[in-house]
């Protein structure tokens, strides 16, 4: 069983945990603007927790394909009021902050965030890993090809599974050299991948488990669901639920989602499914 070390406690990742998404942005691909104010962020957080989320992930920069860069000051101005309010309202709920900037991570951790969710694998800001090492918090290492501005222009791999595997191995070694041991792995569904690449990575989840780290997966409302079905981000909840079941059976520890309720039911059914008669 995996655990997260969250400040003064060990937090078990069995049963698998549901990470609810709070996008404090005006332009995220499916819910931009819903939680842009403090009141909106609190409503969103309360709804996610009521529907079954165990943890919350707050982000103030959209990383959808083609999203523009956001200045540091703007990211902080969006994030900090929401983070402070959510931390006060839900003092025991684990909170992650979705950022690739060291300064944002530092301030967020001082304001009560428990761990850092980094889409860049430390590539966009060389100060981020130093912050994570200093605060000794869990760190989500995600794979990305390119940047949000370029990643979907022409994603190309010789062998996507092998290349993501090698990326994880190299990054884990580099993190270990910096004293960062508590690392979760995210294959980065939709971040510099075609639909075919994404499904190859989903099929390879059991292989990534062999790296001995908890897996975090985010596929909620992404194009690997709605594009093949001719639908839209909010029209594929049933399809997402089917893939979430497969991910749970493959050993994923944390699922990052917009809609926790179906997943809460899946986690409960998984416990029954896997229990001995």
Q: Which of 64, 87, 106, 222 is catalytic?
A: 222
Active site residue 9: no
Q: Which of 9, 256, 264, 270 is catalytic?
A: 256
Active site residue 171: no
On the 0-12 / 13-18 / 19+ scale of CB atoms within 10 A, 130 is: middle
On whether the CB atoms of residues 119 and 63 are closer than 8 A, the answer is: yes
Active site residues: 222, 256
């Amino acid at each position: 069983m995996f655990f997260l070390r969250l400040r003064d406690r060990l937090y078990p990742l069995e049963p698998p945990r549901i990470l609810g998404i709070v996008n404090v942005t005006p332009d995220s691909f499916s819910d931009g603007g819903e939680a842009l104010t403090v009141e909106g962020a609190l409503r969103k957080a309360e709804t996610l927790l009521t529907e079954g989320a165990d943890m919350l992930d707050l982000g103030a920069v959209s990383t959808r394909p083609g999203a523009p860069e956001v200045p540091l000051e703007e990211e902080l101005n969006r994030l900090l009021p929401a983070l402070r309010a959510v931390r006060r309202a839900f003092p025991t709920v684990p909170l992650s902050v979705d950022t690739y900037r060291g300064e944002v991570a530092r301030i967020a951790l001082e304001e009560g965030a428990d761990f850092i969710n980094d889409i860049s694998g430390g590539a966009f800001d060389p100060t981020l890993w130093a912050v994570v090492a200093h605060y000794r918090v869990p760190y989500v290492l995600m794979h990305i090809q390119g940047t949000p501005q370029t990643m979907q222009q022409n994603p190309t791999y010789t062998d996507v599974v092998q290349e993501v595997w090698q990326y994880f191995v190299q990054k884990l070694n580099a993190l270990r050299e910096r004293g960062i041991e508590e690392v979760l792995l995210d294959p980065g569904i939709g971040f510099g991948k075609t639909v075919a690449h994404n499904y190859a990575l989903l099929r390879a989840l059991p292989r990534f488990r062999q790296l001995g780290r908890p897996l975090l997966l985010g596929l909620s409302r992404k194009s690997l669901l709605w594009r093949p079905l001719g639908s839209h981000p909010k029209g594929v909840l049933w399809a997402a639920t089917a893939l979430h079941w497969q991910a749970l059976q493959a050993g994923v520890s944390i699922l990052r989602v917009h809609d926790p309720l179906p997943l809460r039911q899946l986690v409960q059914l998984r416990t029954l499914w896997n229990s001995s008669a």
